[in-house]
Amino acid sequence: MARRCPFCYEKVHKLASVCPHCHRDMAGQSDSSQKRPGGIGLCSGVVMGLMGIATGALAVILVGFLKERQKWEES
C-alpha cells in the first residue's frame, strides 16, 4: 500500500512523513488532516483568548508597577 507524494508524484511509503525523493514534508497531506475537523480552530481560539487575557493582565501589572515606581521616584 504505497501512496504518491503530492509534490513529485513518486511512490512513497504510506507511513512516511517526509518524501524520500524530494524531501518535502508530507505530514498532514492525507489522513491526518481528516481526523480533526474544526479541532484546530477551537484550540487556537482558546489559545488566542488566553493570550489576550495574559497580555492584558501583563499590561495592567506593568502600568501599575510603573506608576508605583514613579511615585517612589517623586517622593
Determine the residue type at 57.
A
Least distance in angstroms from the C-beta of 56 to Zn ion: 45
* CA pair distance 6, 28, nearest whole angstrom: 11
Question: Binding of Zn ion at residue 18 (CB under 5 A)?
Answer: no
**Closer to Zn ion by Cβ: residue 6 or 49:** 6
Question: Binding of Zn ion at residue 21 (CB under 5 A)?
Answer: yes
Least distance in angstroms from the C-beta of 5 to Zn ion: 3
DSSP 27-53: TTSSHHHHS-TTHHHHHHHHHHHHHHH
Least distance in angstroms from the C-beta of 18 to Zn ion: 9
